[in-house]
Structure 1
Amino acid sequence: MTPDQVALVQDSFSKVVPIADVAAELFYGRLFEIAPEVKPMFRGDMKEQGRKLMATLGVVVTGLTKLETVLPAASALAKKHVDYGVKAEHYTPVGAALLWTLEKGLGEAWKPELADAWGTAYSTLSDFMIAEAYGQAQAAE
């Protein structure tokens, strides 16, 4: 990621924080719509799950300036998700749901360069997580 992309992601996320609960609800609604097979993996309180999602996003977004600081936690999270039944192919609809949520939440601020920055951030992290959890071969697919 370029420094400009990092700045775009961080600045736009600061606008999402005030609507974090709504954003999390939009995200999970969209995820379950486009990937209904993942819904059974979520058995707990979805409001709490949404808070965890937004907190994790906050840590990652803050850490984009020094990505190496968040990679150990991302690795552990990826491996933990395997235990929940997450497969490498689930990362694609998660990314799609995230970008859709950001587009809805940010409205007119969602411009092509912002979409590209978030897409780059997500693919960078998801490729790493897939490689950590399932091996390099699946990350390249």
Structure 2
Amino acid sequence: MNPAQIKLVQESFGKVAPISEQAAVIFYDRLFEVAPAVKAMFPADMKEQRRKLMTTLAVVVNGLSNLDTILPAASALAKRHVNYGARPEHYPVVGGALLWTLEKGLGPAWTPDVAAAWTAAYGTLSGYMISEAYGGPRAAE
């Protein structure tokens, strides 16, 4: 990721943060629509899970300009996800649901540059998490 992409991710997330509860609902609804089998990995009451998602996203987005500050937490999170049943093939599905949610939440502010920046951010982080949890290849960035 380059500094311009980091800025785009951070600025666009700033527009989503005020509607974080709604965005989290949209995200999980989309995730369960496209990958119904993963719903069993989540609690019946999703309120706390939605809060954790948005809190984690905020930490990651704010730490993008200094990845070393967020990588230890990302590693721990990836390893915990293995215990919940997450597999490497789930990461692209989650990424797709996240990008879809952002597109819906940002509306006209979801530009090709913003989409590319979020795609790069998710690719970088998910590649790292897969490597940490499963020993696969890391993202190149």
- Determine helix, strand or coil for the equivalent of 2:38: helix
Moved over 6 A (4+): none
Task: Determine the C-alpha separation between the residues in 2 that align with 1:25 and 1:19.
Answer: 10
Mind listing any 5+ residue stretches in structure 1 that lack a counterpart? none
Contact 2:130 2:137 in 1 (8 A): no
Residues 1:46 and 2:25 aligned together: no
Q: 1:138 to 1:85 in 2, by over 3 A?
A: farther
Q: Quote the residue 1:56 is aligned against.
A: 56
- Determine helix, strand or coil for the equivalent of 2:89: helix
Task: Determine the C-alpha separation between the residues in 2 that align with 1:22 and 1:78.
Answer: 25
1:45, distance to aligned residue in structure 2 (A)? 2.3
Per-residue CA deviations over 1:98-126 (Å, capped at 9, x if unaligned) read: 00000000000000000000000000000
Residues 1:78 and 2:78 aligned together: yes
Identity in percent:
66
Equivalenced residues, count? 140
Task: Determine the C-alpha separation between the residues in 1 that align with 2:37 and 2:94.
Answer: 12
1:37, distance to aligned residue in structure 2 (A)? 1.0
- AA of the residue aligned to 1:31: L
- AA of the residue aligned to 1:122: Y
Per-residue CA deviations over 1:15-59 (Å, capped at 9, x if unaligned) read: 101000000000000000111110000025211111100000000
Aligned CA-pair RMSD: 1.4
Q: TM-score, normalised by structure 1?
A: 0.96
More helix by share: 1
Contact 1:16 1:105 in 2 (8 A): yes
Residues 1:4 and 2:10 aligned together: no
Residues 1:30 and 2:13 aligned together: no
Task: Determine the C-alpha separation between the residues in 2 that align with 1:136 and 1:32.
Answer: 26
Contact 1:130 1:139 in 2 (8 A): no
Task: Determine the C-alpha separation between the residues in 2 that align with 1:138 and 1:65.
Answer: 18
Per-residue CA deviations over 1:79-116 (Å, capped at 9, x if unaligned) read: 00000000000001100000000000000000000000
Contact 1:88 1:138 in 2 (8 A): no
Mind listing any 5+ residue stretches in structure 2 that lack a counterpart? none
Q: TM-score, normalised by structure 2?
A: 0.96
Contact 2:127 2:137 in 1 (8 A): no
